[in-house]
Chains A and B, each alone.
Chain A
Amino acid sequence: MIGVLAQQPVIPKFERASECIRENHTFCAAWFKDNFDRVFEPRIVEHIELTLMAVGIGFVLSFGAALLAYNRGWFERSFAFFAAFLYTVPSIAFFQLMVPITGLTRTSAEIALVSYTLLILFRNTLTGLQEVPEDARMAARAMGLTPRQTLWRVELPLALPAIMAGIRIATVMTISLATVAAFIGVGGLGQPIFNAIQSGFKTQFVAAGVLAVLLALIADVLLVLLQRFIAPWTRARRA
């Protein structure tokens, strides 16, 4: 006899789904409502975590790099080149590439996501600093501020609109890319999408897709509001 001896199992009766589900209609609102907290809510939380972490780390790195580049011109080219290079890797490939190195983990996803934020955050921070009017700098010096004081009290505040614009772009971009991260199984709203690609479950396609779009749009609006609150003078400028 091969394998195991078959033992007649007790097969439980499972509930039949609604007509809408069985026929796989475009969107079954009842199912969505009933399963939101199981299928989508944890994924939304993961998505926000993935995004915040990537933008947070990306900002810290880019900010440091921009400050360095601001003072040392040679660094600007090399870092910009490095960031631009990372930027060109198709995301769905980037995630797969990290797997042999850091495994099917969130670290893999974050390395890729952070990499994509670098170019925009670096460039916007640096451009913001470089576009500070010479007058403002001279005025600061005339007032007796040290270079460090000038940076923190004059240059950075003036660069803030550009920095914020960078954060905004980087955030919505990361939300978009984080959906792809589910390709290596790290959660987020891409997970129900990839599951639906396998099951053909339309309600899940629509729900996950719309939720991801909403998340991105809400983040975009929130960041615009934040931008206006922190740097009210930005409004005059065209985004």
Chain B
Amino acid sequence: MGTFVDALQFIVDNPGLLWDKTVETLLLSGAALGVAMALAIPLGVWLGHIHGGSFIAINASNVGRALPSLALISIGLALLGVGFLNVMVALVILAAPVMLTNAYVAVEQVDPDAVRAARAMGMRPTQVLWRVELPLALPLMFAGIRTAAVYVVATTPLAALAGGEGLGDIIVNQSTYGIEGVVGASIVIAALAFATDGVFSLIQRLVTPRGLRRRGKERIVEPSVEPVGAG
């Protein structure tokens, strides 16, 4: 209990430090998410659109979930050395699979009737994709992004071991910041993870087409939620 109080005291005493580290964490997470999205979403959408590659697309998230983050960072340390790049690559590899799977499933399972109706109206394949499939797929797609985002934020503390910056710096350096610093930074990380989850669930709701919002509850297959503590 005393530790917890000390940790809160640490947070109160070190707003500047924690703010800087939080910004670093967010920049790192944001960059990793951005790259992962740029890679995974188009691929997933495309596979879903052509209804192909289901084995890879479906199993991507299973494989991604199974990959131990520290192991990836370790391999990265040998191949890429210490620093931002290694950490980025590891986080992207962890974040991309679940996005890929969700984007694939989201597009793939769009009501075939809707697609057929669109075609009957004379839409070209790209129009079908942009005007029918994507809007209907957005909620589930964002569920994947949300899961990945929380996962990435929660994994950043480990990144500090490989020279990544952010709150993890404090968490892996008990010798400098004391146990109260470790707990204090952990509280901030946990809060960030919750906030990330909140923000993305809000976006998820906003991007859900109005017609889907009620029905959505039944249709949206929530992806298995990843551990916040996985970092």
User: In the complex, which of the residues B3, B157, B182, B230 contacts A173, with contact meaning CB atoms closer than 8 Å?
Assistant: B230
Size class of A's contact patch?
35 or more
Q: How far is the CA of A165 from the CA of B74 in the complex (A)?
A: 28
Contact A176 B68, beta carbon cutoff 8 Å: yes
| B58-97 at interface with A (beta carbon < 8 Å) | 58, 62-63, 65-75, 77-79
A127 to B: closest C-beta gap in Å: 11
User: In the complex, which of the residues B3, B62, B77, B174 contacts A220, with contact meaning CB atoms closer than 8 Å?
Assistant: B62
| B2-61 at interface with A (beta carbon < 8 Å) | 3, 58
Size class of B's contact patch?
35 or more
Q: How far is the CA of A73 from the CA of B70 in the complex (A)?
A: 38
| B68 CB contacts on chain A under 8 angstroms | 175-176, 179, 212-213, 216
Interface pick from B115-123, B137-145, B189-197, B202-210:
B189-197
Q: How far is the CA of A180 from the CA of B207 in the complex (A)?
A: 37
| A69-126 at interface with B (beta carbon < 8 Å) | 86-94, 96-97, 100, 116, 119-120
Would A116 and B229 be within 8 Å (CB), given that A97-B3, A209-B71 are in contact?
A: yes
Is the CB of A22 closer than 8 A to any CB of chain B? Answer: no
Contact A208 B230, beta carbon cutoff 8 Å: no
Would A92 and B74 be within 8 Å (CB), given that A87-B229, A216-B66 are in contact?
A: no
Is the CB of B154 closer than 8 A to any CB of chain A? Answer: yes
Is the CB of A217 closer than 8 A to any CB of chain B? Answer: yes
Is the CB of B164 closer than 8 A to any CB of chain A? Answer: no
A20 to B: closest C-beta gap in Å: 13
| B183 CB contacts on chain A under 8 angstroms | 93, 97
Is the CB of B220 closer than 8 A to any CB of chain A? Answer: no
Which residue of chain B is the closest to A212 with respect to CB atoms?
Answer: B71
A172 to B: closest C-beta gap in Å: 4
Q: How far is the CA of A208 from the CA of B229 in the complex (A)?
A: 22
Q: How far is the CA of A107 from the CA of B64 in the complex (A)?
A: 29
Report which residue of B157, B189, B230 has the largest number of chain A beta carbons within 10 angstroms of its beta carbon. B230
| B66 CB contacts on chain A under 8 angstroms | 172, 175-176, 216-217, 219-220
User: In the complex, which of the residues A26, A120, A193, A216 contacts B79, with contact meaning CB atoms closer than 8 Å?
Assistant: A26
Q: How far is the CA of A27 from the CA of B77 in the complex (A)?
A: 12
| A26 CB contacts on chain B under 8 angstroms | 78-79
Is the CB of A60 closer than 8 A to any CB of chain B? Answer: no
Report 6 cross-chain contacts, Cβ distance below 8 Å, ordered by A residue.
A89-B186, A90-B231, A175-B66, A202-B77, A205-B78, A213-B67
| A94 CB contacts on chain B under 8 angstroms | 229
Interface residue SS majority, chain B: helix
Is the CB of B227 closer than 8 A to any CB of chain A? Answer: yes
| A165 CB contacts on chain B under 8 angstroms | 224
A178 to B: closest C-beta gap in Å: 8
| A124-177 at interface with B (beta carbon < 8 Å) | 165, 169, 172-173, 175-177
Q: How far is the CA of A203 from the CA of B9 in the complex (A)?
A: 43
Contact A179 B71, beta carbon cutoff 8 Å: yes
Is the CB of B148 closer than 8 A to any CB of chain A? Answer: no
Contact B75 A89, beta carbon cutoff 8 Å: no
| A40-87 at interface with B (beta carbon < 8 Å) | 86-87
Report which residue of A92, A197, A206 has the largest number of chain B beta carbons within 10 angstroms of its beta carbon. A92
| B190 CB contacts on chain A under 8 angstroms | 88-90
Q: How far is the CA of A217 from the CA of B59 in the complex (A)?
A: 12
Contact A87 B227, beta carbon cutoff 8 Å: yes
Is the CB of B172 closer than 8 A to any CB of chain A? Answer: yes
Is the CB of A30 closer than 8 A to any CB of chain B? Answer: no
Contact B224 A169, beta carbon cutoff 8 Å: yes
Contact B78 A202, beta carbon cutoff 8 Å: yes
Q: Which 8 A-B pairs have the closest CB atoms?
A: A209-B74, A212-B71, A176-B68, A209-B75, A205-B78, A202-B78, A93-B186, A88-B190
| A119 CB contacts on chain B under 8 angstroms | 227
| B221 CB contacts on chain A under 8 angstroms | 238
Contact B74 A90, beta carbon cutoff 8 Å: no
Which residue of chain B is the closest to A177 with respect to CB atoms?
Answer: B230
| B227 CB contacts on chain A under 8 angstroms | 87, 116, 119-120, 173
